[in-house]
Structures are given as C-alpha cells and as structure tokens.
Chains A and B, each alone.
Chain A
Amino acid sequence: MKHLDELTLLRMVDGELSSERHSSTRTHIVDCAPCQAGYESLKTETELLRATLREDEEPLPEAFRAQGGLFWFLAATLVLAGLGVSQFWSSVVDPMLRGMDRVGIDGQSLFTTVVIRGLLFRGWTNMVSTLTQLALWLSLLVALGTLALFAWRRIRTAALAMSLLAVLAALPGGAEAAVIELDRDTYVLPAGQTIDNDLIVAGEIVRIEGTVNGDLIVAARLVEVSGSITGDILGFAEEIDVTGTVAGNVRTASRSLDIEGIVEGNVTAAGEILRVGPGAQVQGSFTAAGKKTILAGPVERDLLIAAQTHQIDSRVGGSALLAGEELAIGDGAVVEGAIQFYGEREPEVSPAAKLASPVSFEPVEEDEEGGSRLSWLAHFVYFWAAAFVLGAAFVLIGPGAAEAITAVHMPQHAKSLLVGLLAVGAVAALAFGLMITLVGLPLGLVTLFFWILGLYVAQVYAGLYIGREILGRPTDRSQLLVRLAVGLLAIHIGKSVPYVGHLVTLAVALWGFGALTLFFLDGLTRMTPAAPPAVPAPEPV
C-alpha cells in the first residue's frame, strides 16, 4: 500500500481537503498505522503551534487593553460623588421621602402616576406646548454633549468643566436675574413694597405681604403669602398658607398647604394636609398627592388627587380622578364633570350635593397590616408593566437607537456610569440653574421633566441590555420585547430588595443615563461630515 504524503496529511489536519479526498484519506489512515502515526503527530504539532501563538509573551500595548487606567479616576470620582450624594440624600431627599412615605406615596409611584396617568388621561394638550420647548431642550443637550465630549477626552477639561458647573450651581445668577435672599431667620416683604423681579428666598419664616412681579421660589419652615405674586410659586416648606393672589401656578411640597386666596393657574401639591379653603378660588386644576385633601373652595378645572382621605364640599368645574381610601362629598359640592374614585371604601355622598353624574367607584383592596402579599405583587406587576409599556414604545419607535445603546454604549459599564454621573449632575444643575436664573421657570421645569424622564427611561435600556445578556442578541421584534420584559423584571426584582434596592435604582439610572448621553454624543460625531475615519484615541489615564 502506498503511504500518504505529508502534505496530504497536513491538509487533512487543517481541514483543507475536498470531501471525497477527505473520506478516502480517512479510510486510509484508519487502516495504515504509519500514516495514522504521522497524522496524529501532525495534529499534536498543530495544537502546540496554536497554543504557542495564542500565548502572550509580552504585554499588550496600553491602548489595546481594557480601560484599567481609568480605575483610580473612577474610584475617586465615585467616592466623591458618593459623599455628595449621601449629603444630598440625608439633607434633602431622605426627609422628603420620609414625608411622602408618611402620606403613603413613594417617589416611584408618584412619578409613574404623573407620567403614565398624566400622559394617558389628560396630558396631550399640554404636551403640544411642551414640544415647542423640546427644541430648546435639545439644543441644551447638544451644548452639554459637546462639553462632555471634550471632558471625556481630557480629564483635566472634565475637572475644569465640573468646577465650572459647580461654580455655576453655587452662584445662581446675578442680581439682575432674580432677587435672592438666603439664610434669613425671618424674611418679610412688607405690604406696599414691590419686587419687580423673581424672588428667591430661604429662611425660617417667610412672609410676603407686598407684591412680587415675577416668580416666588421659597424654602422655609413657614411661608405666608398674603400679598400678590404675578408669576408662579414654587415652595418647599413645612407649612404654606396662601391668602393673597397668585397669577400663575402654585407648586409646593410641604407638610401642609392652605389656600385661602386666589390662584389663577394650576395647583400642584404634595404634602400631608392640602386644603382649599372657603375663601379660596382656584381657577386652574388641582393635582395633589397627600394624606388628606379638603376642598372647601371652588376649583374651576380638573382634579387629579391621590390621598388617603378626600373631602369635597365645593364647586369643581372639571372632572375628578381620585385615588385613596375614603371620599366624602358634602352638601356644598357641585361637580360639573365625571367623578372616578379608586378607593377602599364606598364614597359617602351627601344627597344635597349636585353632581353631573354619579360617582364611579372602583374598589381597591385594603392594605392589610404588615402589607398583603397580593397587593405587593400587584404593585410590583403594575410598575413592571408600566416600565415595559413605556420601554416597548421607545424600543419599537427607535430600534436603531436601542441597538446602538445596548450593543455599543451599555457594555462600557465604567464609561457609561461615569458619563452618567457627570450628565445627571450637570443636567440637574442646569435645570436648577435655569429655574432660578436666565430663562426662567418654565424651561427649567421642562428640563427637569426630561431629566426625570431620562432617569426613568434609563431603566428601559438597562433592562434591554440585561435581557440581551441573559438571552442573547435578539433577531426579531418579538425577541426584542421578550428581552426587554426579562431585563426589566430582573431590574424590578433588584429594586425591590430592601436597602440594596436603592443602590440598584441609582446604578441603573446613572448607567442608563450615561449610555443615553453617549449615544447622543455618538450621534453628534455622526452628523459631522468632515470627520476623518479615526481610530479612537487611547483612553485617558
């Protein structure tokens, strides 16, 4: 028998023989011991070659390695940010959350209520005016993105940018932008005096007896407004009493809010006891989250209230969507629109009340002591489903964006997290800065809205990414949605773990927000036609 030549054996080992020759060679090798030995030793040799070539005898250049050099910078930033966040948390967020918790609301439910219900039930007309401001917001984002792009390239620039932002945040506008009164025990704007500007004031007790021709932004223990405000009131306090006239809106977070005056715009309030007194007149709508709401004075437009107990004893010009435990409609009530009540107990309606239609009551299961499993589950499923619906909308409207964010940006965990930290801080500072300076409150609030929306949407992409990690890359639309659902489920389970849940929420928000920001930045470079195709610069060390 003629033996096979070595070249044939090599081609056999390398899988380079045609199929007929492959099978004839195989047959020969099986029968012929010397050829089999030759084949085996070539195979061993090949394995040895492969192993040797795969082995690194010298380290890879810095530029090709994973971003290890960033570690210390990242660690330092996270520590600093952690200190800042904990400070912010303990002094601002925690008291607020505890306050809200007392009245039976957590931040997520408030947001979901406002966004989902707001969008679905009534927000559309408002959205139109919001859209006109969207253009402004986008240009802001572009400016911010450019800044962050440079910042990423050069850490020194980042430091500069951050200190610049810090300075901007610390000096909210010059004297011309607003009148600022801080750290006063008691601030009184006496009757007869007028401030022809926005007024920002913080103190123990704040009394406005005169006139503010602009917005009033106030943080205090007790706020009394008996004068006249031509703009909005934005207030944070233990107690806020409005007996004067407000030409704009009233937005407050306070333990109690008592309106006895005239509000020409809308009222949006969160607190324990929220009351519209008999002498009051609210010409807009009333949106509130609290423990107890009492309407003894007229509200000309819609009600949207989540509270334990509701009491309506006055005229309501629009419809009412109410959620809570109890509802009492008194003799003096005149409600022009429909009343929908999601509650634990049957509403008590006085026979003397004048209602356009009977109260549509939908019973909600009572929250047992210690929290019933069922309600927890319902709660969980509700938020998961809400996130999924919103996420599906985003993902199906922009599948390309979803792909880019989850395949390109989210896997860069450290970078996304860091950029997220910068962007979340920067946009918040920007929103806050806008609210009290240059352009004014509306744009600031819109910015803030999109900021919150961004934080909420962040979890959508984080969820999609996690789903992809678990189930692999989706190949069609239904697979995409399955991954979204699975990933969001994982995130919501993580969020519901006690204590760790907050950390999960924070990490997901920062990480997702960072990836979104990076995506927009990447979009920017795409729009620059002259940019040469470049190998990315080595990561800064």
Chain B
Amino acid sequence: MAGRGDLESLVELARAGSSAAWGRVYETLAPSVFRICRRVLASREDAEDATSEIFLRARVRLASYESSRPFAPWLYRVAANHCWDEIRKRRTRAELDDGELELSALEDEAPTPQEAVLAIESRDSLRRVLAELDSRSRLAIVLRYYADMSYEDIGQALGISSNFVGVLLLRARRAMRKGLRETP
C-alpha cells in the first residue's frame, strides 16, 4: 500500500479532482477508519455506514487540509468528530448525565498504582471490559491508542480540554482494571 509520502501526494491529486486518487486514499485508510468506528459504535452496520460518511465528509472538507502535514491524523480527526456526533445522537439519558457531570479531577489522588495493571492472559477479556466502558471513554481510548491522536486533538473532537482527556483516559483504565478484577 501507499507509504507515508505517497499518501499525501494521492491526497494532492484527489484535491485536484482525481477520483481514482481518492479511491486509493480510501483503499489505504478505510480499514483503519472502519476499525475506529467498529470499536466505538454499536454495530458493524453502523461502523460501515460511518466509514462511508467519514470519507464523504473528508472529501468535501479536503480544501481545509494543510498539505504540508500528514494526512492520516487529519482524517482521524474527521473520523473522531463524526463518531462523537454519532455517539451523542444515540446516547441514552443516563449516559449523558454520567458523562457531563464528572468534569472534576480524579477523586483518587493516591500514589502510583500498586495493583497489577491489566495483567491478563487473554485479550478477549480486555476487549470485553473495553466494550463495557461508556462510549466517550471508549472513544478516547481508541483515538489515543489506536489512532495515536494527541490529547489536544482528542479534546477538540470531544469538546473537552486536553487536560481532561488525560483524566478520562486514566478513569477508563481504572474502570477496565476493576472490571477485570471482578470477573477475570
């Protein structure tokens, strides 16, 4: 598949109007975008639809992409925005309350985690506890550890400060550890 510089030149060509170039961008990045969507949205169908919509959105907004910077992170930001929109549309009342309230810092300022963090044998159980997270935390985890986005970019997509992104990530990790301890 296309390497780092190739991807940007493909995007350049796509911006000049080449559908085939955009097709190749799609081929290259659709799998990762789909994986992001699949991890944070409810169903496979939702993820497929979201992937298509993200590429539509991205193509329309291509003019705002700065060609001197790498393209994949830019596309992931579009994906993050879209997924967050989707999640908010679908979130239940309870989840909404839960999400907006806890903007406070971490309740537990205890020193370093002495408990063995997520020391588990199978990744299946990790996937299970990941799925049990609230949508926003899950999205933050996926954007940080799958899409390699910065706290700043994640914060922008989720409409929170970059400081709070760290809190969100840590809280998510603690919830996962707890989930694993309770039902290993």
Contact partner of A3 (CB less than 8 A), chosen from B27, B111, B141, is B111
Contacts of B6 in A (CB 8 A): 407, 473
Contacts of B27 in A (CB 8 A): 64, 66
B60 contacts A6, C-beta separation under 8 Å: no
Cβ contacts B14-33/A at 8 Å (1 or 0 each): 00111111111011001100
For the complex formed, measure the closest distance between the CB of B114 and the CB atoms of chain A, giving whole angstroms: 8
Listed stretches A42-50, A110-118, A131-139, A438-446; interface member? A42-50
Contact partner of B141 (CB less than 8 A), chosen from A7, A49, A57, A409, is A49
A404 contacts B21, C-beta separation under 8 Å: yes
A14 contacts B144, C-beta separation under 8 Å: yes
Assembly CA distance A531 to B22 (angstroms): 14
Q: Does B142 contact A (CB under 8 A)?
A: yes
B123 contacts A55, C-beta separation under 8 Å: yes
A34 contacts B111, C-beta separation under 8 Å: yes
User: Which chain A residues numbered 1 to 38 have a C-beta less than 8 Å away from chain B?
Assistant: 3-7, 9-11, 14, 16, 34-35, 37-38
Q: Does B166 contact A (CB under 8 A)?
A: yes
Contact partner of A52 (CB less than 8 A), chosen from B13, B111, B123, B150, is B123
Listed stretches B44-52, B72-80, B82-90, B91-99; interface member? B44-52
- Chain B: CB-nearest residue to A524: B19
- Number of A-B pairs whose CB atoms are under 8 Å? 157
Q: Does A351 contact B (CB under 8 A)?
A: no
- Please classify the interface of chain A as helix (H, G, I), strand (E, B), loop, or mixed, using the class held by over half of its residues: helix
Contacts of A358 in B (CB 8 A): none
Contacts of B44 in A (CB 8 A): 58, 61
Assembly CA distance A52 to B13 (angstroms): 35
- Chain A: CB-nearest residue to B39: A53
For the complex formed, measure the closest distance between the CB of B148 and the CB atoms of chain A, giving whole angstroms: 9
- Most A C-beta atoms less than 10 A away, residue of B2, B56, B112: B112
Contacts of A54 in B (CB 8 A): 146
Cβ contacts A180-212/B at 8 Å (1 or 0 each): 000000000000000000000000000000000
A53 contacts B59, C-beta separation under 8 Å: no
Contacts of A526 in B (CB 8 A): 16-19
A407 contacts B55, C-beta separation under 8 Å: no
A534 contacts B111, C-beta separation under 8 Å: no
Q: Does B136 contact A (CB under 8 A)?
A: no
Residues of A within 8 A of B (CB): 3-7, 9-11, 14, 16, 34-35, 37-39, 41-42, 44-46, 48-58, 60-61, 63-66, 400, 403-404, 407-409, 411-412, 472-473, 518-519, 521-522, 525-526, 531, 533-536
> Mind listing 22 A-B residue pairs with CB under 8 Å?
A3-B111, A5-B111, A6-B111, A6-B113, A6-B170, A10-B170, A35-B112, A41-B117, A49-B126, A49-B141, A49-B145, A51-B123, A53-B142, A53-B146, A58-B38, A64-B31, A66-B27, A400-B16, A407-B13, A472-B5, A521-B20, A526-B19
The 9 closest A-B pairs by CB, nearest first: A38-B112, A3-B111, A526-B17, A536-B23, A522-B20, A53-B146, A473-B5, A45-B117, A533-B59
